[in-house]
Amino acid sequence: MSLADKLKDKKVLVTGVTGFVGEALLHRIIGDLPGTTVVAIIRPKGSLKGTDRMAQLLKKDIFKPFYGEGTEYADAEALSAARIEVVEGDLADVPELPKDLDIVVHCAGDVSFDPPIHEAFTTNVLGTKSLLERIAETGRPVHYVHISTAYTAGRRRGAIPEAPVDHNVDWRTEAEAGMAMRARVEEQSRSAPMLAKFRKEAEKLHRRAGHLTAAADTERRRTEWVAKKLVETGTERARSLGWTDCYTFTKALGERVVEEFSKTLPTSIVRPAIIESAVQSPHPGWIEGFKMAEPLILAYGRGELPEFPASPDSVIEIIPVDHVVGAICAVMATEPELSKPEYYHIGSGARNPLTFEQLYAGVRAYFSKHPFDLGERGAVRLPVWKFPGGDSVESMLRYGERAHKIADKIITTVPRGERTRKYARELDVQKRRLDFLRRYMDLYSEYAQAELQFVDDNVLALHNALEGDDREKFACDTSVVDWQHYLQEVHCPSVTDSLRRLDVVRKKRNRALAESAGVLKKIGEPAGSDTDAEVIAAFDMDGTLLSSNVIETYLWMRLPELDSHQRVGEIGSMLRRLPKLISAERKDRGTFLRTIYRRYEGADLEELNRIVDELLAEHVLERLSGDAVRRIREHRAAGHKTILITGAVRPLTRPLEPLFDEIVAAELAVDDRGRCTGFLSGPPLVGESRAAWIKHRARGTNIDLSKSYAYADSHSDLPMLSVVGNPVAVSPDVSLFRAARAARWQIVDWKTPSTSSRLELPGVNAR
């Protein structure tokens, strides 16, 4: 009998039908098992019900040949109604199942190699248990087909039989401990020492912006630490018991659950190796998403994978997805005995081994003929792998990580500038590459150096038992696969196609970005009669409008009223204090400003105003960026309210008054004689204070912050930029540059006129 005859009138429940294997299995059942009905458990997603998700699935290209003109079914809905029954639910809460099931194929599971430990147990162990309990409730001898993985063998070596994994780990104890780990790690993350660690790291980066910005980053660091710790805990627990990672560990324990239920349910356990794209069905190269090999293949093709920690003669157990599905269909048609589960290894190493050296040769040959194009730099230069061994690769990676850490520390302390930002961009690219290498080296090194030989006699027997056309439709004998043809003509073209198409789009976008780099978007049209909302444009001063800083501007104003001897003393005093002042500015800009402004003690405020009007105004205007002036005028022409928000003292802003509708500056407190006390009349607007001022101004008025603008150069102004809909980073420091890139904000570089000099001290010779 053919498989179609054996499985005719059978009702087969499939979990994970929207996943890679589940989708391929559904395609095979609809196309080659016409008398078989599918029951699909599908989890609602957002506003989409399970039936909606099934409708979306059937509209994919691989299912279109099954309906429409010339077929039995008019459309996807008709196909679904005739062949598929949808049950809404998931493994976390398995719903009641139909009572007339004949077969259950459990494809769903957490297939990530490094899931958080509680999630891995929820899906791979407890979810499996919940499903089996629901099957038992039907009261029928349902044939249960469990899709596991060949790597449940763990860190063993040599021949692995198609039999239960030999271990005595209690799945109940491990599941209880794994599920409790989330609460334990959460509790640990909230301890005083850990919170202090997260807070100090956040404040080191964000203290200039403000406490709330640092607090938000503290919580981000805490939650990321929890997620990372749960992954690390799962990995270490798995390796302490002899498995490669939490995935294989929990899949092995899931098999133990299945074996217990095999006393009442006929059971088959299918263990595929590394599942990759199809050889033939649904079509050559068909694959959904990135699996194990694809990120590495693509990274190599882009020249970003310099080495790999594998032995060249080690075998990589790749299996095309259509061979896996063929074997599953053949298994579905078997009749295992109670209490005697059958095991099936679906791999390629036993009869058609593919070594890492052969894999490397095939992938390199493909990219040599079809390289990725990097535009002006031409074709990618492919790395030459010498397979130096895992320890050597690890040493290379650690060296790169240390070098990057040192370079990154330097780049955040050197003076800002276009060259500095260029180096920061390059370092960020390098960091992403190092993070990629670290992640995949840690994940795959165990598999790359494994010496497992999966016996697949049972699967070969299934293949040999197939009759007639079934030998081709449901082929599961991997000895027929030509690996070099598969790699160079099927798999690599398939997995690179989407990236090549994306590269075309990316190149167009990058060209557009390059053409518009540093060019501000046009300001929106003036508010029309349909809205009375007001738009503001807030500007920082030092470093944004002017190439100046607080120490510089203090000297501009203070030195003209001192005699030559006093000037030398004042400059010398500032130079001696400069390192401490720079350190203070990096810690808390408000405290830094107060320290500088204390030096105004005894100065006559009216005299400071006179000095600015008579001696400094021209110099300030010379330092003003022409691009900044044009932008301010554009805002005024558009009917926007222009506001200058600065930590500079009020007298220094007097030359800029014609440009702005409102100026918010530091106010020097004076005594009854009009002399400065060395204090301010109110806190300086820095960091979060600026954001609070803007939000307060908008509150109770008709300002539309979503359409408003802000311009600033420093990471301390991150809060201010974040409260408007159109933030612009102007000649930013490295920290703000990175934040702006991450948020996709506009970044411009406003140059100071070349006629002005940073060494010029205006007015010192005017008296």
Q: Got the DSSP string for 322-345?
A: HHHHHHHHHHHT--PPTT--EEEE
Q: Which is higher by pLDDT, 199 or 757?
A: 199
Higher pLDDT, 271 or 293: 271
CA dist., res. 459 & res. 480, Å (int):
14
Between CA 605 and CA 620 the distance in angstroms is 19
Count of all residues that appear for the chain in the document: 767
Q: Following DSSP, what letter does each residue of 454-475 receive, concatenated?
A: E--HHHHHHHHH--TTHHHHT-
Mean pLDDT value across residues 163-171: 96
Query: What is the CB-side half-sphere exposure of residue 33 using CA atoms within 13 A?
Result: 28
Helix (H) or strand (E) holding 22: helix 20-32
Query: pLDDT by residue (tens digit) across 485-520?
Result: 999 999 999 999 888 887 777 667 666 655 555 667
CA angle 659, 661, 663 (to 5 degrees): 85
Mind listing the pLDDT tens digit for each residue in 230-266? 999 999 999 999 999 999 999 999 999 999 999 999 9
Q: Do the beta carbons of residue 380 and residue 367 sit within 8 Å?
A: yes
Phi-psi region of 646 (alpha: psi -120 to 50; beta: other; left: phi over 0): beta
Contact in structure between 11 and 58 (CB atoms under 8 Å):
no
Can you give the pLDDT at residue 543?
86
pLDDT-based confidence at residue 767 (cuts at 50, 70, 90): very low
452-466 pLDDT, tens digit per residue, is: 899 999 999 999 999
Q: What is the pLDDT of residue 683?
A: 84
Closest CA to 638 of 661, 663, 664, 621: 661
The residue with greater pLDDT, 529 or 648, is 648
Average pLDDT score, the chain: 88
Q: Nearest CA to 327 among 346, 342, 341?
A: 346
558-580 pLDDT, tens per residue? 777 676 777 777 777 777 776 77
Task: With H, G, I as helix, E, B as strand and everything else as coil, classify residue 660.
Answer: coil
Confidence of residue 39 (pLDDT cuts 50, 70, 90): very high
Residue 525 has pLDDT above 60, yes or no: no
Burial (CB < 10 A; 0-12, 13-18, 19+), residue 15, is: buried
Determine the pLDDT at residue 582: 67
* Model pLDDT, residue 529: 40
Say if strands 452-454 and 342-346 run parallel, antiparallel, or are unpaired.
unpaired
Tell me how far apart the alpha carbons of residues 140 and 265 are, in angstroms, rounded to a whole number. 8
Q: For residue 169, what are the contacts with CB-CB under 8 A and spacing of at least 6?
A: 241, 252, 253, 256
Q: Which comes out higher in pLDDT, residue 545 or 530?
A: 545
pLDDT tens column, 698-743:
987 889 999 999 999 999 899 999 999 999 999 999 999 999 999 9
Residue 16: HSE in the Cβ half-sphere, 13 Å Cα cutoff? 23
Q: What are phi and psi of 648, to 5 degrees?
A: -70, 155
Q: Tokens at residue 442, please?
A: 């840690």
User: Prior bond to 282 cis, omega within 30?
Assistant: yes
Domains of the chain: 1-169+241-273+318-350+455-476 (3.40.50.720), 536-748 (3.40.50.1000)
DSSP labels, 262-317: TTTS-EEEEEE-EEE--SSSSSTT---S--SSHHHHHHHHTT-----S--TT-B--
What integer pLDDT is reported at residue 511 of this predicted model?
A: 63
What percent helix, strand, coil does the chain show, rounded to 5? 55, 15, 35
pLDDT 10s digits, 337-385: 999 999 999 999 999 999 999 999 999 999 999 998 766 566 788 999 9
Q: Grade residue 471 by pLDDT with cuts at 50, 70 and 90.
A: very high
Q: How far is residue 599's CA from residue 280's CA, in Å, rounded to a whole number?
A: 80
pTM of structure: 0.83
Q: What is the mean pLDDT of residues 396-422?
A: 86
Residue 674, both tokens: 């009009």
No. of helices (H) and no. of strands (E), the chain:
28, 19
User: What does the block give as tokens for 189?
Assistant: 């993350």
Where residue 361 falls (left for φ over 0; alpha for ψ -120 to 50; beta otherwise) is alpha
Partners of 666 in beta bridges: 649
- Which residues touch 435 (CB under 8 Å, ≥6 apart)? none
Q: Is the pLDDT of residue 409 over 60?
A: yes
DSSP character at residue 371: P
Helix ranges (H only) for 95-170 are 117-121, 127-137
Q: What is the pLDDT of residues 93-124, one digit of tens each?
A: 899 999 999 999 999 887 777 899 999 999 99
Alpha carbons 429 and 746: distance in angstroms, whole number: 19
The continuous run of DSSP H or E covering 646 comes out as strand 641-649
pLDDT at 528 over 50: no
The percent of residues above 70 in pLDDT, for the chain, comes to 93
Residue range 134-156: mean pLDDT, rounded: 95
- Please give the average per-residue pLDDT across 204-214, as a whole number: 86
Mean pLDDT of 625-641: 93
Position 603 scores a pLDDT of 87
Instruction: Tell me how far apart the alpha carbons of residues 320 and 485 are, in angstroms, rounded to a whole number.
Output: 13
331 pLDDT tier (thresholds 50, 70, 90): very high
Quick one: what percent of the chain has pLDDT higher than 90?
60
The band of 766, judged by pLDDT with boundaries at 50, 70 and 90, is very low
Question: Per-residue pLDDT tens for 645-693?
Answer: 998 889 989 999 999 999 999 899 999 999 999 898 888 888 899 999 9
Residue 10, pLDDT score: 96
pLDDT at 501: 81
Q: Give the 3-state secondary structure of residue 82.
A: helix
pLDDT the model gives residue 618: 84
Asked if the model's pLDDT at residue 765 lies above 70, the reply is: no
User: How far is the C-alpha of 520 from the C-alpha of 83, rounded, in Å?
Assistant: 56
3-state secondary structure (DSSP) of residue 56: helix
C-alpha dist (Å) from residue 672 to 287, 599, 669, 755: 81, 19, 10, 41
Predicted confidence at residue 585, as pLDDT, reads 64
pLDDT (0 to 100) of residue 183 = 97
Bridge partners for 539 per DSSP: 644, 711
Residues paired with 315 in a beta bridge: 355
- The two three-digit tokens of residue 108, written as one number: 């769903």
What letter represents residue 599's amino acid?
A: R
Ordered alpha helix ranges (H), 190-285: 192-206, 211-240, 246-261
* Residues 144 and 106 sit within 8 Å (Cβ to Cβ): yes
